[in-house]
Amino acid sequence: MKRLHSFILKSFLGPLAFTFFICMFVLLMQFLWRYIDELVGKGLEWTVIAEFLFYVSATLVPMALPLAILLASIMTFGNMGENYELTAMKAAGISLQRIMQPLTTLVIIISISAFFFANYVMPVASLKTTTLLVDIKNQKPELILKEGIFTNDLPNFSIKVDNIDKETGMMYKLLIYDHRDKRGNTNVTVADSGTMVTSPDKQNMTLTLYSGNMYQDVKQKSRRDKNHPSRRIKFQEYETNVPLRSSELKRSNEDRYSKNYRMLNLKQLVHSEDSMRNRLDVERDRLVNGLLAKHYFKKDAKSMRKDSVRYEELLKKTKDADSLFKAAPLTKQLTSVSSALSFARKARENISRKENEILSQEKWIIKFTNEWHRKFTLPFACLIFFFIGAPLGAIIRKGGLGMPVIVSVLFFIFYYIISMTAERFAKELVLPPALGMWISSLIILPLGIILTYKATTDSAVFNIENYIDFFKKINPVKFFKKKNA
């Protein structure tokens, strides 16, 4: 049995590693396609790009690992079924559960490792990815001159070039606005041609212009001066140094994102959720007490002081507020009703505003609850997909990358759509968080049980002839003849 187990493990580990890296590559390309505009033209060093891709790859493991296990299990058992290896094992008296035993142990170990990965590695990877992505977005792009378009990437300069010689780097028909004096477009240079050369340390750029004119507005001594003096300088060659922006990526502090729900482990999620719920309960109590004190029991203090004696007398004569209200003059009744309506409208506006704030806080707290459940849904999904893929491969009996890839992708898309839809419902408070995060696993769990049972009993689930024979047995003509008779 040791040799058999070793053979089965070797048959599974190869496709698992291959499909896992294929899934990671596809998901990583999808991520890069989404953020390609943020990465191109920033002058980033290869070490920064490699670091960013490493952290992004770590955040994509929860999507790649279950799909890789599903695809690898279908391929493994499909190859063994296609090569009649499963038939030989069953003929030797080895059941399918016994064949799946070493892989089941391996998948359980992978699932436990996935839990620890989701709890301890994923929060750190998400924090690093978010911080680095924001830093890259804030990084200024490199100076890229385009023909016929003003470029403002050079500090305090706006440059337009009509033509650029790609081979020599010579630029023709330059129009430059120099804003270094912070007085607007008061310094304009027109040149027939010119070059730009960056210093070796990339801190400065030497701008050399040929055959041009420089127009400068002279600063006035006082605002009352109605004259606008200017000067024109004609040159054959003009050279100036322009300081460049730092090309190094400025790293921001990670603490500003460390309280996000994606950056926390189980213990931190529970602590944060409890703290936010306590604050929300305090805010609700404060709202109720404020409404009771300011809106529900309202009285005019000045009238009470002026007519206190009369009020006491009326209060002794009357038994309730309605009788007191009817005893008041008509003008007082109208004034009271108008004041009550005004107070009610203010109370309604206050309640509506606070309700939206409380609802927003509840939705934010639900995200922490969803993230807590997500730590467990990843390892559970790995187990379920294995118990779907292994019996499905034994039933299909097709190896390679044809049928297994199609079936795996269909199952995964079905699972992913249910998972994302239910999670969104949970975030919008339509479903409870536990149900929203676990409903996709609960839906496909019976499918795994049914497929395992069918594969154990050697049931031809995908044999079309069985279904054709079943429908042939159902003869609607005979059914209606018996009914009419």
- Domain membership of residue 444 (yes or no) is yes
| Whole-number pLDDT of residue 400 | 63
H helices of 117-174, in order, are 122-138
Cα–Cα distance for residue pair 303/395, rounded to 1 Å: 88
pLDDT of residue 109: 92
Same domain, 29 and 94: yes
Q: Is residue 326 part of a domain?
A: yes
Cα–Cα distance measured from residue 56 to residue 133, given in angstroms and rounded to the nearest whole number: 10
160: which strand partners? 175
Among 342, 370, 398, give the residue marking a domain's end.
370
Is 150 within a domain?
A: no
Instruction: Flag whether 147 is in a domain.
Output: no
Domain presence at residue 146: no
pLDDT tens figures, 309-345: 555 555 555 555 666 666 667 777 788 778 778 877 8
* Pick from 56, 66, 64: nearest CA to 32: 56
Please tell me whether residues 311 and 204 are part of one structural domain.
Answer: no
pLDDT by residue (tens digit) across 24-77?
998 888 888 887 777 776 667 788 888 888 999 988 888 889 888 988 888 888
Confidence of residue 468 (pLDDT cuts 50, 70, 90): low
- pLDDT tens-digit readout, 342-375: 877 877 887 888 888 888 888 888 888 888 988 8
143 neighbors 164 (Cβ within 8 angstroms): no
CA 210 to CA 195: how far, in whole Å? 9
The values of phi and psi at residue 248, to 5°, are -75, 140
- Given this model, what pLDDT does residue 480 score? 47
Give yes or no: residues 360 and 384 share one domain.
Answer: no
Q: Cβ(480)–Cβ(420) under 8 Å?
A: no
Provide the pLDDT for residue 108: 92
Domain containing 198 equals: 157-243
Same domain, 12 and 135: yes
Amino acid (1-letter code) at residue 72: A
246 three-class SS? coil
| pLDDT at residue 296 in the model | 60
- pLDDT-derived band at 304 (thresholds 50, 70, 90) equals very low
Distance between CA atoms of 43 and 143, rounded to whole angstroms?
Answer: 10
Query: Could you report the per-residue pLDDT of 79-136, keeping only the tens digit for each?
Result: 887 788 787 887 877 878 888 888 889 999 999 999 999 899 999 988 888 888 888 7
The percentage of the chain sitting over the pLDDT mark of 70, rounded to a whole number, equals 78
Confidence of residue 471 (pLDDT cuts 50, 70, 90): low
Please indicate whether residue 176 or residue 200 has the higher confidence score (pLDDT). Answer: 176
First to last CA, the chain: 63
pTM attached to this predicted model = 0.67
Structure confidence by residue, pLDDT tens digits, 206-252: 888 888 888 887 766 655 655 667 788 888 888 888 776 655 666 77
Do both 294 and 360 map to the same domain? yes
Dihedral class, residue 84 (left if φ above 0, else alpha if ψ from -120 to 50, else beta): left
Are residues 135 and 6 both part of a single domain?
A: yes
* Residues 394 and 426 grouped into a single domain: yes
Is residue 481 assigned to a domain? Answer: no
Q: How far apart are CA 15 and CA 65, in angstroms?
A: 12
CB 423 within 8 A of CB 413: no
Domain membership of residue 198 (yes or no) is yes
pLDDT class for 484, splitting at 50, 70, 90? low
Q: φ and ψ at 318, to 5 degrees?
A: -100, 155
Which candidate, 176, 288, 298, places its Cα nearest to that of 240?
176
Task: Return the sign of the alpha-carbon dihedral for residues 318, 319, 324, 325.
Answer: negative
**Which residue(s) pair with 234 in the sheet?**
213
Nearest to 436 by CA among 420, 416, 417, 413: 420
Q: Look at the block and give the residue holding tokens 């968080």.
A: 433
Same domain, residue pair 126 and 18: yes
Q: Give domain status of residue 388, yes or no.
A: yes
Domain count, the chain: 3
Of 144 and 454, the structure prediction assigns the larger pLDDT to 454
The pLDDT value given to residue 116: 92
Q: Cα separation of 232 and 225, whole Å?
A: 21
Q: How confident is the model at residue 276 (pLDDT cuts 50, 70, 90)?
A: confident
Residues 36 and 78 in one domain: yes
Q: Is pLDDT at 479 greater than 50 in this prediction?
A: no
Tell me the two tokens of residue 365: 């707290």
Report which listed range, 191-195, 394-398, 454-458, is most confident.
191-195
Same domain, 235 and 164: yes
Single out the residue in 208, 243, 278 at which a domain terminates: 243
Residue-averaged pLDDT of the chain: 78
- pLDDT, tens digit (0-9, with 9 covering 90-100), for 162-172: 888 877 778 88
Same domain, 107 and 45: yes
Residue 47 and residue 100 in one domain: yes
Provide the percentage of residues in the chain whose pLDDT is more than 90: 4
What is the token pair recorded at 420?
């994302």
Neighbouring-strand partners of residue 205: 198, 242
The pLDDT assigned to 97 comes to: 81
| Stronger pLDDT, 173 or 351, i.e. the higher one | 173
Q: How far apart are CA 28 and CA 98, in angstroms?
A: 37
Sorted by sequence, the CB contacts under 8 Å of residue 271 that are 6+ apart come out as none
Contact between 298 and 339 under an 8 Å Cβ cutoff? The reply is yes
The alpha carbon of residue 347 and the mean position of all alpha carbons in its chain are separated, in whole angstroms, by 38
Residue 5 pLDDT greater than 70, yes or no: yes
- Average pLDDT of span 389-400: 77
Integer CA distances (angstroms), 68 to 154, 269, 341, 385, 454, in order:
48, 29, 65, 9, 23
Measuring CA to CA, which residue among 396, 434, 392 is closest to residue 411? 392
Tally Cβ neighbours within 10 Å of residue 475: 10
pLDDT tops 80 at residue 185 = no
Final residue belonging to a domain, choices 354, 370, 386: 370
